[in-house]
Amino acid sequence: MNPNVIFLVIDSFRSDKFSHSTTTSKKSNIDNLIKNGTYFTQAISSADATILSWSGLYTGKHPFKTGIRSSRFNKLDENVSTIFNILEQSNYSFFSFTPTFSETIGLFPKFQNKNNLYDFTERLDSGLGDKILDIFSSLPTNNPWFLNIHLMDLHFPLVVPSSFKNEQFGFSKYEQIISSMDEWIGKFIKNIDFNNTILIITADHGTYIKKVKKNSKIIDLEDDGESEILKKKLVSHTPKFLKPLKDKIFFSKELKNKLKKSALLSKYDLKPHEKRALLSASFSLEHDLYDEKLRVPLLFVGKNVEKNKIFSKQVRLIDVFPSICYLANIKFDYTLIDGKNLFPLKSEEIFKEEPAYIESNPMIEIKSNDVIGIRTSKFKYFRDKDSKTDRVYLFNLSNDPFEEKNIAQSNTSLVSELESILNKIINHNEKLKINENDLTSNEIENELRKMGYV
């Protein structure tokens, strides 16, 4: 029988907070899983927000080839296959726990558990964890199954469980929540038979952490999660005719807050990456593609997976789909997608890296300055989505891992070279059958608006 698959996607989980010497979380269960599996330290997401990242993750294609994003958000193109379509042919059963907006985009199949959808504000400690534990006893034993879990615990607004509100569990709220999640992961793995199950842990994208320590001073600009959730619920009831006024007031307030923060931060000798993290806002119209939002964990554990393997070469989240097919012994034509199977792992010396296509997630109804680009293990290049000459950024990741010095102007030949690679990716010949439907787009965007994607 094909192995079972547990696919755990933890929203907004950064790679450096999953496994790095600087993390302050208590995460013995995650650390133990890394020792018992294959961990990719340099996995890159296709996008900096959930839906576009999902579209690459579950199809193995670059997001712009899936039909989900055109002039507005749409459902998946009917000719694009997902990992679920492929596994269904091998008699897999599907179970899931995903936030409610997941049902609007056509990526997911009909799941067998009726409680598969949850409100995005629900966290592991507020009931979701127990629901996940309960599902293990009802999973089939006579055919393989795929359990798809997307957790929102690390997505803003951050709400720390009361028993973890202590710096012994992490310096920031973000890291304290990781400690809480690790405890739940420990409960989950007690129910997993790794002899016939593959566990994959990753994230859709990363995020900024708005708390730093500078010369013994702590600068804490993290949000108050409880009050933010209350505000979102109140705003969601705003009459439609008042929306333009609400947006005007909101962005005016955001600008004032940013100016206030800038004045406060001018008192400190902050590095550029520290400053951009502290000044970051959930609703900024100026988009970027720094690694804090793109570099995510990617861990495989279980059947057919090599233990205690750390792999540092760049891989992409679109590589997960074909890798699952290989590990689960599923026949699949890998030439149909952009991702490539990562197993069995070749030595790092001969492993051929592929450039990762990256893009920012647009705002809804309000035009944002979006960017596209590519990342290699040595360089990051991104520029304005609609212009090759506007807002051009180039970083030497080897010398400048925090992406603080834009070297685009002094390296025009390298910019041209990377732009050529980007153009080869985006100028594809695949014909999409995009069915733009205002009703569908409205449904998707209403769900995203609840989460704060204005």
Query: Mean pLDDT for the chain?
Result: 89
**CA nearest neighbour of 103 among 413, 332, 454, 440:** 440
Q: Residue 162: phi, psi to the nearest 5? A: -55, -40
Mean pLDDT of 173-181: 97
Mean pLDDT of 320-329: 97
How many other C-beta atoms are found inside a 10 Å radius of the C-beta of residue 210? 21
pLDDT value of position 365: 63
**CA nearest neighbour of 119 among 453, 454, 451, 452:** 451
pLDDT value of position 262: 76
CA 164 to chain centre: 24
How many other C-beta atoms are found inside a 10 Å radius of the C-beta of residue 126? 14
pLDDT at 242 over 70: no
Radius of gyration of the chain (CA): 21
Tokens of 19: 């496994």
DSSP 378: S
**pLDDT digit string (tens) for 411-436?**
999 999 999 999 999 997 666 555 56
In sign, the C-alpha dihedral spanning 301, 305, 306, 310 is: negative
Within the chain, how many helices (H) and strands (E) appear? 13, 15
**pLDDT digit string (tens) for 67-107?**
887 556 778 888 999 999 999 999 999 999 999 988 888 99
- Domain 356-448: state its class: alpha beta
Contacts 24+ apart (CB under 8 A), 280-284: 280/208, 280/210, 281/254, 281/257, 282/156, 282/452, 283/250, 283/251, 283/254, 283/363, 283/452, 283/454, 284/254, 284/368
**CA nearest neighbour of 258 among 287, 280, 282:** 280
Mean pLDDT of 27-53: 96
pLDDT value of position 342: 96
Name the fold adopted by 4-209+290-336. Alkaline Phosphatase, subunit A (3.40.720)
pLDDT at 224 over 90: no
The yes-or-no answer to whether 4-209+290-336 and 356-448 have a common fold is no
Q: How many angstroms separate the most distant Cα atoms in the chain?
A: 64
Mean pLDDT of 335-363: 92
> What is the residue extent of each domain of the chain?
4-209+290-336, 211-288, 356-448
Percent of the chain surpassing pLDDT 90: 70
pLDDT value of position 121: 87
